[in-house]
Amino acid sequence: MSLIHALVAQGPTILAEHKAGKRDFSQATQTILSKIPPNNSKLTYVWEQYLFHYVSEGGFTYLVMADDSAGRRMPFAFLAELQRKFTSAPSSSSSDDMPAYGLQGTFGPTISSLMHTYNTAPPSDELTRAQTELNQVKDIMVQNVEQILSRGERIELLVDKTDAMAGQATAFRRGARSVRRQMWWKNKKVLGLGILAGLVLLWIILAQFCGASLRCARKTNA
């Protein structure tokens, strides 16, 4: 699956979106939306193996998250068509001061259908048009998402990683407890063997002077 998460937003407010994957990237997309400047712009943010492509124009932002294997031509072709469909939709004219997800019911299915098309059989003419636009527009930058984040935002974006690491840490703690128990028993066994060896050595030393029956005291009294 190339395109994973797409949305249309007005400023930081998401009007409609569609998620094609199981992993939730809502926090990441919301953080990126809050960093997009109000002027018209096109940009690609890189985060891990994912690319966040967006087109911001006329107060609206069209954003799609994709695998890095999708490149840039296909996602920007998708965004161009998404923008055309949104601006031609009757609901877009009444989107001023629209509440969050106010167009989810009317435009959400359009995003879903368009994502399915581009994930299965993207139109070749749209890809050609997108390549032409990419060649003409030189200001479409690629930037690492870490460069726009504060420390707190990094923590939020790494929630999924933290959950995975927490599971690994739990397994590690269980393993550590098991190792500690094994080491404790091993130390007890070594201590026991050491005591036993000491007693045997002491018996050997005494036996050299008193005999195997250790009758030193009786010989002295006699």
The CATH class given to the 3-155 domain equals: alpha beta
Distance between CA atoms of residues 13 and 161, nearest Å: 26
What's the whole-model pTM score?
0.61
More confident residue, 173 or 191: 191
Residue ranges covered by each domain of the chain: 3-155, 156-211
pLDDT per residue over 31-86, tens digit each? 889 888 888 888 888 887 888 999 999 889 999 999 888 888 889 989 999 999 99
6 close to 78: Cβ distance less than 8 angstroms: yes
More confident residue, 194 or 142: 194
What confidence tier does 109 reach under pLDDT thresholds 50, 70, 90? very high
18 close to 86: Cβ distance less than 8 angstroms: no
Average pLDDT, the chain: 77
pLDDT per residue over 148-176, tens digit each? 566 555 545 544 454 445 555 566 666 66
